[in-house]
Chains A and B, each alone.
Chain A
């Protein structure tokens, strides 16, 4: 085990995979200096053919990834913030997510797109979105939302070695968080959730950056005599339905915490899955704790007001537990 910051774990994963396979190419805006630090140092190690700065032209960066992958390379595109997916969206929504089917399976596109997402740093509306729900709706893209340095490293390495397009979403502002990372060639399978805390009264499924406040909520709930289980899905596509459904079968209550906006967010998707497949286990309604359907405001107090936090999660669980307790026997 080694103690690594999240951005260091990402950098380690990139360096290891670039060393392992000369076909791994990294490019993006400012990847040589790296504003978040995750690609820092790689240019000195691997040179201009393997990692390079690009112009600011997201529509071309995502499109080039498709062509470069079709030409036999493993492409890592760093897009800095998930809001910039919007400017690169044609190649994401019309090309990389569809070409395999459209070509009858002729093409494989080993593309990994890295971007930070989420609020909490007064970056305002155009740099704070959690722009992943739209990716889930495209069909042909893996979506990875690590919450720890170990998972960041393991999931990224798996994505780079994979044969499908994957989006790797780094929690913005959490790059400095430190965690234990296993030594050696650490890989994490896609589609396997992690149970971060076991509990019996309610299940909290928390995505990416939301795992930390969910664990804080579980701690405070424990002090109030409520035992909450916290599940970190780790990847949204593929999604580990089994772990979530088993937990709900045990607890009978589900709160889903998603930093994306509530309407058609991933919380809605997970709620739908449990409603369809786990309805008999539920003792009450599924609750979503998400960002309301607004743009993220700048002022820190306003931003904190809209983003999901431990207090809202705690309240949602208490309401579910309390509502059920009020039911006649």
Chain B
């Protein structure tokens, strides 16, 4: 766990600063997620992935800024756009790629795929193909953590689309009522699948949590330091037994809902190129890179070195996935139940 910096603003979480080594780590993690997903984008476009992928490009600051405060004994639930959460929470890139390639070496032995990457040993309770489903799972894990009483917390990542599911209200209610060590992280990327969220969302999402008197903050989700600060407060509140918090991180989905959407949309559009371009100017990785150089924590050479390290890891993960054994079809039968003698 990171230590708090003095003078942090309760409302915006903008003040305070991670240490130089933490900043470099945040940068390299975001970059790893970005380059890994760009590779998935390209592999998918080339027809080399068996299934579809939902990419997190542009939203990396949220997962990385939040998970910096978590350890393996904390829990996180994720979304269908879950590669970033998996990697930020400590999941192994090679095992994730092998999973997406449908290989036995995959983190879920090829049985889950992109939308279901999970690593229970690291508290990653799984990406989830059902919008909003992670909330109650995280609340259950948080209930367990509270009963355990050893300061572990659960984080629930979900999107603006999931915020319109009724389970949000249910989980805001029960987590407040029971004082659960739970952090709601709404990644508002402005799209509910193929519909701009403003067309399907009444009011402000954060106000839904405020209605429960839950500590709530809205942050620039493309500013990893802002996310880091807000998450630091929320996680600390949960660890200390002061109950749940809500973070709405405003960000943007650069890619489509899924990568091959142009084939199903038949030319239909739900946004303008100018909008994408405007958000590319606020890219969280470029922004942090510029900031690191400006404050003297990094220079062009050290950023290039980080780039090289990341690219090597991505290439190695692709090679690992490609060389993997095909998934074992017999697992489908074997794994539905735990075999037991009772």
Contact = CB atoms under 8 A, between A and B. Distances in A.
Contacts of B118: 102-103, 106-107
B174 A158 contact: no
Contact of A55 (B109, B119, B177, B342): B177
B247 interface: no
Nearest to B180: A64
A67 B133 contact: no
Interface string B319-342: 000000000000110111110101
B177 A67 contact: no
Interface stretch (B11-19, B20-28, B142-150): B142-150
Contacts of B166: 59
B120 A64 contact: no
Most chain B beta-carbon contacts within 10 A, residue among A49, A71, A101, A164: A71
B107 interface: yes
B173 A57 contact: yes
B154 interface: yes
B139 A163 contact: no
A231 B75 CA distance: 46
B96 to A, nearest CB: 12
B176 to A, nearest CB: 11
A245 B167 CA distance: 45
B129 interface: yes
A247 B336 CA distance: 29
A189 B331 CA distance: 25
A57 B174 contact: yes
Interface stretch (A91-99, A126-134, A178-186, A221-229): A91-99
Given A67-B141, A102-B108, A102-B111, A161 B342 contact: yes
Interface in A81-133: 90-91, 94-95, 99-108
A293 to B, nearest CB: 29
B179 interface: no
Nearest to B149: A49
A108 B338 contact: yes
Contacts of A57: 167, 170, 173-174
B136 A163 contact: no
B342 A107 contact: no
A63 interface: yes
Interface string A148-175: 0000000000100111100000000000
Contact of B342 (A64, A65, A187): A187
B186 interface: no
Contacts of A105: 109, 111, 331, 334-335
B342 A162 contact: yes
A68 B174 CA distance: 14
Given A103-B116, A104-B331, A140 B336 contact: yes
B126 interface: yes
Contacts of A189: 342
A56 to B, nearest CB: 9
B170 A106 contact: no
A55 B116 contact: no
Contacts of B222: none
Interface string B139-178: 1111111011000001000000000001100110110010
B232 interface: no
A190 B135 contact: no
A90 B337 contact: no
Contact of A100 (B106, B141, B338): B338
Interface of B: 75, 77, 106-112, 116, 118-121, 125-126, 128-130, 133, 135-145, 147-148, 154, 166-167, 170-171, 173-174, 177, 331-332, 334-338, 340, 342
Given A101-B111, A103-B108, A189-B342, 15 more contacts: A57-B167, A57-B170, A60-B170, A60-B174, A63-B139, A67-B77, A67-B139, A67-B154, A70-B141, A95-B137, A103-B116, A104-B106, A104-B111, A105-B331, A164-B340
